[in-house]
Amino acid sequence: MKPYLTLFLATLFSSASYAATPSNSLVIAIPLDGIISFDPAESFETVSTSSLVNLYQGLVSADRNHPQQIVPAAAASWTAGSQPHSLRFTLKPNQAFASGNPLTADDVIYSLSRAVKLNKAPVFILGEFGWSPENIDASLQKISNTEVEIRWQSDIGQDLALRLLSAPVASIVDHKLVSEHQQAGDYGNNWLKNHSAGSAAYSIQRYVPQQALLLEKNPHSAIQPKIAQVLLKGVPDASARRLLLTQGDADIAYGLGADQFAALRHTAGVKVASFPSSLIYYLAFNAQDSQQPALGNPALWQAARWLVDYASLSQQLLKGQYQVHQSFLPVGFDGALEKTPFTLDVAKAKQILTKAGIKPGTTFTLSFTNQPPYSDIAQALQASFAQADIQIKLQPVPEAELWGKMRSRQFQSIFAYWGADYIDPNTNASTFAYNVPNGPKTLAWRVGWSIPQLSELTQQAAATSDAAKRRTLYQQIQTSVMQDSPFVVALQGAQQVGLRSNIEGAQQSLGVSMLYFDQITK
């Protein structure tokens, strides 16, 4: 076993306190129970998906300082392709994966093809191209080892196409390495659940489910980070994460409560960094639930909008770290609606419920992640809904279990978050406002919301190239979801992170991302 791995695992399972972490290593205290897979074709959970930016490159990416701009990643440049709906990419020369294998056009084609054919949770993003297992191979053409042409069937422009290709699901995997671990035609998916095959600054050295994720510097990466190893240490309890940070046993702590972040601001040796975030927080009802028909009644959805104490959640419970926000496009995205028409109004909610014949004492279960801030918010919702004699049973679960419930429609109501997969309004519109027969399993599908006309409008917005018309369409779609849907969007939060005072260069993306580890120094 490598010496640093022995040291890290000894640190992981030891309860001893250390004055400081090693100078060439980074220790992060974070809950790891939400991880299902590190395969970019499958990963769609907080920590795993957020880690991919440090493990993989796509052809393009959002600029770190100006996320609305698309910049080259593995690609050096691109031009219009041979067909109206196509782009031709030229790869940067002499790139290599962590294995040492060269990154070529074959890897690009294999990566996009396997993602579509595996048909896992994030595939709906690539489905925006009109790709399917039947047509994907004909949509990808190798021109040379360093050139590839990508074609698509959907009526979308080149700008949206580039933004779709910046999503984690479009990450480029090492074709040769993954093929060596293929089993029964799984395209290496089972192996990639716990390993990596990328070309970014780090690679997975070892993963112990729910306990530790150890990343090692990729010697072949174009960017050579100052930190050699990164250990994400699984710590389920938020108070324990805070303690590790203040003691110096962790350099970084994620997932703390509002009170804990507030206390850290007055603690010697640590600091709190706040980053703009695309994360929005929403309540959703399963309109197809057979045990509680009221969940499919639009009157309950409407009443619910007046039973959330938005201001109290934002300012009192969450100490102003989350802002009231009631549309599915986060602030910072083109066309995002910032109006907040709903407030706590129990009398109005009761009137709506009575008129619709929804009886007092109506009860449903609310599922949520058993981590801050979800537990506190869930209790607040339980209290405010009770004022209208709507009873909520609380069901806290590990994050991975929550996503399983959502994807299988095995829930009555849910309080969760959604983060942008790429920086474009379509990223959220295509999941909150799109549900078609035999289509992708979007959020609208998961809550059983049938919306043929709104889905058509969402497709129209995606195909529109005129910026002003596109903005108007997305505002129309947002208004529809805001006013009459099973979704009650309540908050948008900045991403806050606890850091030791000696950590410099901390930065992360507006989308779903952890810190860029390749920028950090101690």
Residue 511 lies in a domain: no
- Backbone dihedral region of 130: left (phi > 0), alpha (psi from -120 to 50 degrees) or beta? left
- CATH number, domain at 168? 3.90.76.10
Average pLDDT, integer, range 110-119: 98
Report the pLDDT value the prediction gives residue 494, as an integer from 0 to 100. Answer: 85
Domain count, the chain: 2
Report the pLDDT value the prediction gives residue 5, as an integer from 0 to 100. Answer: 54
Burial track 292-325 (b if 16+ CB lie within 10 A, e otherwise): bebbbbebbbbbbbbbbbbeebbeebbeebbbbb
pLDDT digit string, tens, across residues 412-448: 999 999 999 999 999 999 999 999 999 999 999 999 9
| 6 confidence band (pLDDT: 50, 70, 90) | low
Residue 503 lies in a domain: no
Report the pLDDT value the prediction gives residue 222, as an integer from 0 to 100. Answer: 93
Residue 408 lies in a domain: yes
- 413 and 309 in a common domain: yes
Contact 232, 495 (CB under 8 A): no
The 3-class SS string of 224-245 reads CCCCCEEEEEECCCHHHHHHHH
Residue 147 lies in a domain: yes
Contact 503, 41 (CB under 8 A): no
- Eight-state DSSP code of residue 102: B
Sign of the alpha-carbon dihedral angle for 349, 350, 356, 359: positive
Gap between the Cα atoms of 295 and 434, Å rounded: 20
Gap between the Cα atoms of 247 and 239, Å rounded: 12
Report the pLDDT value the prediction gives residue 209, as an integer from 0 to 100. Answer: 96
Residues 6+ apart with CB under 8 A from 347: none
| 8 confidence band (pLDDT: 50, 70, 90) | low
Contact 432, 481 (CB under 8 A): yes
The residue range of the domain holding 461 is 277-494
Residue 19 lies in a domain: no
From 173, 192, 211, the end of a domain falls on 192
Q: Is the pTM of this model over 0.95?
A: no
Nearest one of 216, 189, 210 to 26, comparing CA atoms: 216
Residues 6+ apart with CB under 8 A from 1: none
- 420 and 299 in a common domain: yes
Q: Tell me: pLDDT of 9 over 80.
A: no
- 293 and 160 in a common domain: no
pLDDT digit string, tens, across residues 287-342: 999 999 999 999 999 999 999 999 999 999 999 889 999 999 999 899 999 999 99
Residue 17 lies in a domain: no
- 488 and 347 in a common domain: yes
Gap between the Cα atoms of 382 and 150, Å rounded: 49
- CATH number, domain at 433? 3.10.105.10
- 316 and 457 in a common domain: yes
3-state secondary structure of 403: helix
Gap between the Cα atoms of 79 and 168, Å rounded: 22
Q: Tell me: pLDDT of 1 over 50.
A: no
How would you classify the pairing of strands 413-418 and 363-369? parallel
Q: Tell me: pLDDT of 11 over 80.
A: no
pLDDT digit string, tens, across residues 124-134: 999 999 999 99
From 192, 224, 247, the end of a domain falls on 192
Residue 12 lies in a domain: no
Nearest one of 167, 239, 251 to 513, comparing CA atoms: 167
| 75 confidence band (pLDDT: 50, 70, 90) | very high
Average pLDDT, the chain: 94
